[in-house]
A = this chain, B = another copy of it.
Amino acid sequence: MSVTQRHSKPAPDFPRPYTTVDVVIFTIAQDRLNVLLVQRPGHEDDPFPGLWALPGGFVNVDLDADLQACAARKLKEKTGVDSPYLEQLGSWGSALRDPRGWSATHVYFALIPAHELQLTKGANAADVAWFEVDTLLARPTLAFDHGCILQAAVERLRSKVEYTSLPAFLLSEPFTLPQLQQVYETVLGRNVDKSGFRTRMLAANFLIEAGHVEGTSNRPAMGYRLADRSGPVVFPRTFSPRGH
């Protein structure tokens, strides 16, 4: 089915920029923040041949009802994941970012639990891989302006982690408070106090107890699920208000 419609009077026919959507897909693996990248085809006349890039592509006016749906489609194509946390990051558009001409990309970022996906055997599965974010930021050699975009995404994620429950979307349910704390510390890049952390999380009232989870060889921890998977809760204060 098509989502296009009959036009009324067409708009004045300026040359139109390319319209694309890219997705910054984060996960945690081995206590590191990782991002999914796709290798561009090696043909000489493609832009940035062989370089790694964020998954994305042109908006398809026949398939995509809106930008968010387009981002969800691209995410599903690359990861098989269906409805993760998906938030708009912003848009980047200029005359020079794509050698083929004026283009604007609408960027979303997604959080998916580690191990919740198998990189699909579909279309171009071989060209898809996880990369450690810190490594990428140290030597950004991505296609287009995707290095800048990744940096902006990481900054947004780090800043929201200071005062929201976002990191919970990086864990599969049920998860324990120590696991959640570990994710916070990984993303923030510093340790947080255990007792304060627990007080805040439980006071924010977004966790539902889900029975004990067996540990390896010590006291079992309480498991939790999210009361509402549609979005994070906002804490009244940031972590470490005194500035670390």
The answer to whether A104 and B101 touch across the interface, beta carbons within 8 angstroms, is no
Closest to A242 in B: B236
Closest to A237 in B: B241
**Interface extent on A, as a size class?**
35 or more
Q: Is A131 an interface residue (CB 8 A)?
A: no
Which listed segment binds B: A24-32, A61-69, A133-141?
Answer: A61-69
Contacts of A241 in B (CB 8 A): 236-237
As a 0/1 sequence over residues 36 to 80 of chain A, the CB contacts with chain B under 8 angstroms (1 = contact) are 000000000111000000000011111011110000000000000
Give the Cβ gap from A15 to chain B, nearest Cβ, in Å. Answer: 5
A197-228 at interface with B (beta carbon < 8 Å): none
Q: Is A7 an interface residue (CB 8 A)?
A: yes
User: In the complex, which of the residues B9, B10, B14, B58 contacts A60, with contact meaning CB atoms closer than 8 Å?
Assistant: B14
The answer to whether A17 and B14 touch across the interface, beta carbons within 8 angstroms, is no
Contacts of A191 in B (CB 8 A): none
Contacts of A242 in B (CB 8 A): 236
Give the Cβ gap from A201 to chain B, nearest Cβ, in Å. Answer: 16
Contacts of A90 in B (CB 8 A): 88, 90-91
Chain A positions within 8 Å of B, measured between CB atoms, are: 3-5, 7-12, 14-19, 45-47, 58-62, 64-67, 88, 90-96, 98-102, 104, 106, 163, 236-238, 241-243
The 7 closest A-B pairs by CB, nearest first: A66-B94, A61-B102, A9-B45, A67-B93, A16-B16, A3-B95, A91-B91
